[in-house]
Amino acid sequence: MKKRTLRRGLTAIWWLILIFLYLPLAVVVLFSFNSANSAASFTGVSLRWYKRLMGNEEILSALSNSLILAIVSSAVALVIGCLIGYGMYRHRHRKLGWLIVLIYLPIVLPDIVFGISEMAFFVQIHRMTGLLQPGLGTMIIAHVTFQIPFVALIVYSRFVGLDPTLFEAAKDLYASPAQRAFHFMLPTIKPALISAFFLSFTLSVDDFVISFFTAGPDSATLPIYIWGAIKKGVSPEINAIATLMIGAVTIAAILSLLFSHRRQP
Amino acid sequence: MTPSPLAPEPGTREPDAPRDTDNAAREASSIELLGLHKRFGKDTVALDGVDLTIRAGEFFTLLGPSGCGKTTLLRILAGLEEPDSGSLKIGGLDITDTPPHKRSVNTVFQSYALFPHLSVRDNLAFGLRMLGLPAAEREARVARIAEFIQLNDLVDRKVDQLSGGQRQRIALARALVCEPDVLLLDEPLSALDAGLRSQLQVELLRVQKRLGMTFVFVTHDQQEAMVMSDRIAVLDSGNIQQVGPPREVYERPVNAFVARFMGHDNLFPITRRAEGGWLTTELGDLRCDGEGAGDLLLIRPETLDLLPGEQPGENRLLATVGERLYRGSHAEYRLDIGQTSLQATVNNRGRHLPEVGERITVTVAADDLVTLGK
Amino acid sequence: MAYSGVRPTTRSRAMVSETRHLLFTVAPGAVWIVIFLVLPSAYLMSVAFMSTGIYGLPELPLSLESFRRLAGFGFLGWSPGNIYTLLRSLWQTLVSTALVMVVAYPIAYYITTCRERWRPIMLLLVVVPSWTNQVIRTFGWMNLLAPGTPLANLAELVGFIPPNMGLYPSNFAVTLGLVYNFLPFMVLPLYAAFEKLDTAQVQAAQDLYASPVRAFWHAVFPQTLPGLLAGTVLVAIPAFGMYVIPELLGGGKGMMLGNLVANQFAGSANWPLGAAGAILMLIATFIGLFAMRRIGKRLGGGEEVVI
């Protein structure tokens, strides 16, 4: 039948696309275990590239920069974004068009424009005042800027999904404003907050362009290190770091997904 | 007076328990509303000068169609809405500016508003926890209320494992466990099916009578209001139309709105009045006892008697049966009289029930007729 | 009346406290975004209208020199390099967006025909690769397309490339990288559109039109247009400003606008020229968003189409 042919064709396309999607990652993972220093032929399984990573000061410092950057920026963005998300929800009946535009701005701005704007701005401020020297600090500022909208939107949508009378029930049951925040609102949106933190973390680790332009000489993150290594000439060590990053981001992302799906009705 | 069932067992009672004598409790829970006004936006008037006194220990119902202001009034009592002007006293104390979390008032919400992140037990204990009661007392009180509302087997469940009726009872228990001066109920039964609904009506009534707590109940269902209430206030477009016990509101409505809302259709404009209480309507002449200053005559369908054949006389009207709905316990009639028609309800006592097309005589007692304003 | 309960201040007092609340919650984030994104963007735009000073840094007086340079007018007369870069960016955006559509459309449809239990997992499978850093993913393609790899050997065999050349750097590699990078951005909105598909309409169409092609064209395709549109914006806007992929896979002859802009802030510094290029990108972004809003509204799916 014609219909069955169509379906078979679609199934074939689906598997081809899956191969297409995973092949580049699979190659990176595979060659990270290659015993030879070659990207063309696989000669045998070995962990020598991973061992080499351990002794590489530059990589370890890039790793710690990446982690500090991701954790600090996600935490700051979580607080600020959570406040905005709540404000947007609480005042959703007002005209907040300006706020929506502001919140979507970091999302719609092309990475490269985002990155060079901040770089140019930081450099100028630094020249004029001595503040904002390019480094981990400026990178954290930049990352928080693009993480805020995601946190705000996740928190906002969680609040919108709640029965609005819950807020009134909390007031009615003698909860003072502070008690409402800590005994009702925060526990209720906890899954959303965890999911937002993991998403922010993933976005931070995933980012290259913005980090690249706001980094200082000593604040290279893993992606920046990898970029530099690629530019200098391919080394199999990159496969090993890349494999570790693929693993870490995948785990973080899956955790985020698990928490966002554990929403109560 | 029996002691409140929510009060601790004798001997375990703390010296500063909130409710030491029933009299004091009753004093504390009367409600006085004076000149309450509330607008939403520029044009929507929710309350247009409401004056109302609700007695302590009363089951008081705010009844009216949607948009009449009853929910706004309840929300003002709870403190969830601030009036534009007017004042509100509970137990003689002005609480107009008191925020909701400082009022000894609890609400059973229409959507129940149970916290999804908490178990049933923690939902029940929420208010007590916010009040800062020690854990032991919280547990004791939650256990007592669970016993009282008969939901012992539910306390360890999660909220999303409960049925509608169970949620309703948890919501009630969560409000009662705080032992407020006043309990507010915002159409708490409207989401339930008919059977469960009448069962819970009885239960709610029993709880209120045993606790002697002031209940303010909002509904748009006049049947429910009549079953439950000590007194009813009928509201329309932000004004109180009538306040009184159910029988008074049903049998002696003060105006056409109240009459229609209570389910009456037999309203006829009075075209002429004569000595001795004689009124002329398009039905004919009828004599009405009692003071009759209004412009409309109300004839309740269940006050009518149907006699076979044509038997003219005082307060008797000749009619043709236009329609008959047989309901088993009773039958509903549409009787045609001249150009107009009249609804009648006749109890089925095994006697002859006139057939469609039959000529009959309708009789009504002079003291069953009511006149009312427009 | 006897009561003294008229409270004319209530409403204004409530308004004031509400406004204070709004400011308290929203201000930290709003101020953050204004200081660290709006101001920098505004500064960058102003840089485009300055003249180039020492080390390529911006200087007064104001000038439109940067835009002349962007159009290719330099010290040595006009050269077509920048115009080529611009045209290449447009071309790559068009081609990769079209290819992504062609690939994503059957995939999104296929997922909706599978069992409901499997659909979230299938979507996840499509999305997971994009969670990995762009640099690493592009590096994966470098590994695959390098000289001597099976893919490169195959291409050589067919005569697609000369011997020992590898498939990158090339424009072809950039297109491939773009398609790979943006595929999930198209599959997700298309899937949402397919899932909402009104099957009654499709059945009616099957009854009315003899051929399945016509049924598709009249009943299915119009309903998926909002998803297609959303996907187009999600793909085309970032593709136009892409930096990493052309940098790694394109080489000198595969440069796009993003590289041109970035280079002005790194190696061959010329901030005003880079800023002028950034303005071009911003204009393209806002045209894209604006077009989507307009067309989205006409298609009746405007609100949900927005990201």
Angle between helix A97-108 and A136-160 (nearest 10)? 130
B63 beta partners? B219, B234
Q: Does B115 touch chain A (CB under 8 A)?
A: yes
Contact C5 B84 (CB under 8 A): no
Question: What is the model's pLDDT at position B292?
Answer: 63
Same domain for B213 and B143, yes or no, is yes
Q: B70 and B115: one domain?
A: yes
Question: Does residue B11 form part of some domain?
Answer: no
| Chain A, nearest residue to B111 by Cα | A165
Domain co-membership, B122 together with B232: yes
Q: Is pLDDT above 50 for C5? A: no
Give A33's DSSP letter.
T
Q: Is B323 left (phi over 0), alpha (psi -120 to 50) or beta?
A: beta
Question: pLDDT digit string (tens) for A188-221?
Answer: 999 899 889 988 988 898 899 999 999 988 889 9
Considering the domain architecture, whether residues B98 and B223 belong to the same structural domain is answered as yes
Q: What is the pLDDT of residue A214?
A: 92
Distance between CA B9 and CA C168 in Å, rounded? 86
User: Are A100 and C306 a contacting pair, CB within 8 Å?
Assistant: no
Task: Give one word for A236, left, alpha or beta, with left for phi > 0 and alpha for psi -120 to 50.
Answer: alpha
Residue type, position C6, single letter = V
Judge residue C304's burial from the number of C-beta atoms within 10 Å of its C-beta, 0-12 exposed, 13-18 middle, 19 or more buried. Answer: middle
Report chain A residues whose CB lies below 8 A from the CB of C237.
108, 110
Q: Chain B neighbours among A 29-88 (CB < 8 Å)?
A: none
pLDDT of residue C299: 64
Question: Does one domain contain both B225 and B341?
Answer: no
Q: What type of residue sits at position C85?
A: T
pLDDT of residue C14: 67
Residue C57 has pLDDT above 70, yes or no: yes
What residues does B286 pair with on adjacent strands?
B279
What would the two tokens of residue A243 be? 């494999």
Could you tell me which residue, B302 or A250, shows the higher pLDDT?
Answer: B302
**The domain that contains B366 carries what CATH number?**
2.40.50.100
Note whether B168 and B272 are same-domain residues.
no
Give the gyration radius of chain A's Cα atoms. 23
Q: How far apart are CA C26 and CA A99, in angstroms?
A: 8
Secondary structure element (H or E) that encloses residue C98, with its range: helix C81-113
Burial class (CB in 10 A: 0-12, 13-18, 19+), B198: middle
Q: For chain A, first and last CA: distance in Å? A: 44
The second-level CATH assignment, the architecture, of C95-305 is Orthogonal Bundle (1.10)
* Tokens of residue B80, six digits: 């969830």
Q: Distance between CA A166 and CA A178 in Å, rounded?
A: 16
Whether residues A174 and B101 touch (CB distance < 8 A) is answered with yes
Q: Which of B76, B130, B185, B190 is the mutation pick for testing A, counting most A CBs within 10 A?
A: B130
Mean pLDDT over all residues of chain C?
A: 82
In a domain, B159, yes or no: yes
Distance CA C24, CA A83 (A): 8
Helices (H), B36-134: 70-78, 120-130
- Name every chain C residue with its beta carbon within 8 A of the beta carbon of A202: 131
Domain-wise residue ranges, chain C: 95-305
Tell whether A246 is within 8 A of chain C (Cβ): yes
C-alpha span between B87 and B96 (Å, rounded):
6
Cα nearest neighbour of C11 on chain B:
B84
User: How do strand B59-63 and strand B214-219 relate by DSSP bridges?
Assistant: parallel
Residue-wise pLDDT tens digits, C97-110: 999 999 999 999 89
| Residue A90 with chain C: CB contacts under 8 Å | 21-22, 25
ipTM surpassing 0.85: yes
Which two tokens mark C78?
A: 């006009």
**pLDDT mean over A143-172:** 93
Distance, CA of B55 to CA of B214 (rounded, Å): 8
Q: Is the pLDDT of residue C220 over 70?
A: yes
Name the 3-class secondary structure at C62: strand
Task: Pull the structure tokens for residue B157.
Answer: 């469940």
Relative to beta strand B85-90, strand B93-94 is antiparallel
Average pLDDT over residues A249-253: 74
Task: With beta carbons under 8 A apart, name residues in chain C contacting B34.
Answer: 1, 3, 5
Judge: C5–B82 Cβ closer than 8 Å, yes or no. no
> Is A5 an 8 Å CB contact of chain B?
no
Burial profile B252-286: b = 16 or more Cβ within 10 angstroms, e = fewer = ebbbbbbbebbebebbbebeeeeeebebbbebeeb
Q: Is residue B171 part of a domain?
A: yes
Domain identity same for B170 and B149: yes
**Nearest-CA residue of chain B relative to A162?**
B116
Å between A73 CA and nearest CA of chain C: 13
Do B211 and B168 reside in the same domain of the chain? yes
The model's confidence at residue C210, banded by pLDDT at 50, 70 and 90, is low
Residues B273 and B328 in one domain: yes
Non-local (6+) Cβ contacts of C180 within 8 A are: A20, A21, A24, C137, C141
Sheet containing strand B330-337, edge to edge, reads B305-308, B359-363, B316-326, B330-337, B340-347
Tell me which residues of chain B, numbers 86 to 115, contact chain C at a CB-CB cutoff of 8 Å: 86-87, 96
Between C111 and A46, whose confidence is greater?
Answer: C111
The per-residue pLDDT for B75 is 94
Sheet holding B272-274, edge to edge: B272-274, B278-281, B284-287
Q: How do strand B359-363 and strand B305-308 relate by DSSP bridges?
A: antiparallel
Instruction: Write down which residue in B234, B259, B284 finishes a domain.
Output: B259
Domain A50-261 has CATH 1.10.3720.10: yes
Do residues B249 and B291 both lie within one domain?
no
pLDDT at residue B16, rounded to an integer? 40
Question: In chain A, where are the structural domains located?
Answer: 50-261
Q: State the pLDDT confidence band at A44, using cuts at 50, 70 and 90.
A: confident
Counting as low any pLDDT under 70, the low residues of chain B are 1-28, 290-292
Contacts of residue B178 in chain A, CB cutoff 8 Å? 173-174
Question: Does any domain span residue B8?
Answer: no
Structural domain of B161 = 22-259
pLDDT at residue C82 in the model: 84
Structural domains of chain B, count: 2
- Asked whether residue B205 falls in the same domain as residue B99, the answer is yes
Q: Which amino acid is at C169?
A: P
Mean pLDDT confidence for C177-183: 95
Helices (H), chain B: 22-28, 70-78, 120-130, 135-148, 164-176, 194-211, 222-228, 246-251, 256-261
Q: Where residue A262 falls among pLDDT bands split at 50, 70, 90?
A: low
Residues from chain C that touch A215, judged by Cβ atoms under 8 A, are none
The pLDDT tens digits for A99-154 are: 888 998 898 888 999 999 999 999 889 988 888 888 899 999 999 999 999 999 99
Residue C6: per-residue pLDDT: 46
Q: Is residue B294 situated within a structural domain?
A: yes
Sequence-distant (6+) residues with CB within 8 A of A43 are A34, A35, A36
Q: What b-and-e string marks burial along A154-182, b requiring 16 or more CB atoms within 10 Å of the CB?
A: bbbebbeebbebbbbbbbbbbbeeebbee
Residues 82-101 of chain B with CB under 8 A from chain A are: 99-101
Cα gap C181→A25, rounded to integer Å: 12
Q: Between chains, do B160 and A264 touch, taking CB under 8 Å as contact? A: yes
Question: Do residues B269 and B314 make contact, with C-beta atoms less than 8 angstroms apart?
Answer: no
Q: Which two three-digit tokens encode residue C203? A: 């059945």
State the pLDDT at residue B14: 40
b/e map A115-137, b = 16+ CB within 10 Å: bbbbbbbbbbbeeeeeebebbbb
List all chains that touch chain B, counting a touch as 3 or more CB pairs closer than 8 Å.
A, C
Please name the residues between 148 and 207 in chain A that touch chain C, using a CB distance below 8 Å.
148, 152, 202, 205-207
Last residue of a domain, one of B211, B243, B259: B259
Token pair for B360: 């009959």
Q: Of A124-128, A229-233, A249-253, B299-303, where does mean pLDDT reach its minimum? A: A249-253
Of C5, C8, C11, Cβ closest to residue B87: C5
Which of C169, C148, C149, C172 is CA-nearest to residue C160? C172
Band (C65; pLDDT cuts 50, 70, 90): confident
Instruction: From B259, B285, B301, give the residue that closes a domain.
Output: B259
Nearest to A187 among B80, B117, B160 (CB): B117
Q: Bridge partners of B361?
A: B307, B318
Name the phi and psi angles at B237, rounded to 5: 35, 50
Q: Which phi and psi (to 5°) does residue B339 adopt? A: -85, -10
Whether residues B241 and B311 share a domain: the answer is: no
B contacts of C14 (beta carbons < 8 Å): 82
Separation CA B30–CA C7 (nearest Å)? 23
Q: Can you give the pLDDT at residue C212? A: 74
Which residue among A110, A117, A205 places its CB closest to the CB of C40?
A: A117
Tokens of B23: 């009299």
Nearest to C250 by CA among C80, C81, C89: C89
Strand partners, A127: none
